[in-house]
Amino acid sequence: MYRLLFPLLLAFFCLSCEETEVKQAPAQLVVEGWIDSGGFPIVKLTTTVPISKRLQSTDSLDRFLLRWAKVTVSDGTREVVLTGMPHRDYFPPYIYTTSDMRGEVGKTYTLRVDFQNFHAHAVTTIPKPVALTSIKAEELSRFPGWYKLRVGFTDNPATTNYYKVFVRQYSYSQDFHSTYLGTYNDRLLPSKASILVNNSRQNVTSPNATFFKRYEFVTIKFCHIDSVSYEFWKSMDDYQGEGRNPLFNSMQNIRTNIHGGLGYWCGYGASYHTIVVEG
């Protein structure tokens, strides 16, 4: 019986290792854009990266950047054209922006992108910023010198509110990065809310990757967002959370509010809070 079982298993594994041809989908426009209350619009444009059997370095991804697009933002009263420029503080290191328009609370902003055969648009609003009332660093007993951050704020129970948290660590980057599982709906929060702020690093091999080092200089960007922005960031959180599980990967697509492309265009009612991490 064992003589029969071994050839069958060998044949099974050989069939399982047979290469499957993957059909390449047409390239799609990818938009990463936002406008903060009091801030200038920032837009990054790329195309989708095709599946490859070869490892692709970040340098090789440069060819998927879109540098000569026409990008405009309108607040309903006037429209401005954004200028493309290299910027080392962002990744990818090329952005479209302008100093001729700042985000205002309560306004609606329409983004339009035109590049060759790509034509896309999206709409977002900027809610009123909500300030943090407290920030507390709590040292981890199992990881001395590492801390988790807990922040407090007051939520308005009379309205449905959505929040998104970003962090900037000056030892790593000047750009803000989405925190791990940092998107909140106030239906699950009390009016005197307290939430954990995880790190943005996604190194799943490190058990302390979502925490902060002692004496690290960290700025928290706490954003009040609209429901459309929430749907995008919540789907991104779900994708990342399920993607960390090697047995159950995510099967759902990430939401988008970009008509004619993928990605997001979000308005942020933003408040900023800088701390040095220590107990």
Residue boundaries of the structural domains of the chain:
132-230+269-276
How would you write the pLDDT of the chain (279 residues) with one tens digit per residue?
434 333 433 444 454 455 555 567 789 999 999 999 999 999 999 999 877 656 666 666 778 999 999 999 999 999 999 999 999 889 889 999 999 999 999 999 999 999 999 999 999 999 999 999 999 999 999 999 999 999 999 999 999 999 999 999 876 666 899 998 899 999 989 999 999 999 886 566 677 888 999 999 999 999 999 999 999 999 999 888 765 554 455 567 899 999 999 999 999 999 999 999 987
User: CATH second-level architecture of 132-230+269-276?
Assistant: Sandwich (2.60)
* Residue 9: φ, ψ to 5°: -65, -40
CA distance linking residue 2 with residue 10, whole number of Å: 12
CA dihedral 56, 62, 66, 68 (to 10 degrees): -160
Q: Which residues pair with 186 in a beta bridge?
A: none
- For residues 222 and 273, the answer to whether their CB atoms sit within 8 Å is yes
Residue with tokens 């750009």: 175
The reported pLDDT for the residue numbered 40 is: 98
The Cα–Cα gap between 234 and 165 comes to 12
Q: What is the pLDDT of residue 209?
A: 80
Alpha carbon 90 to its chain centroid, in Å, reads 13
Strands 217-225 and 212-213: unpaired
- Concatenating the DSSP letter of every residue in 30-96 gives EEEEEEEBTS--EEEEEEPPPP-SS---TTGGGGGB--S-EEEEE-SS-EEEPEEEE-TTSSSSEEE
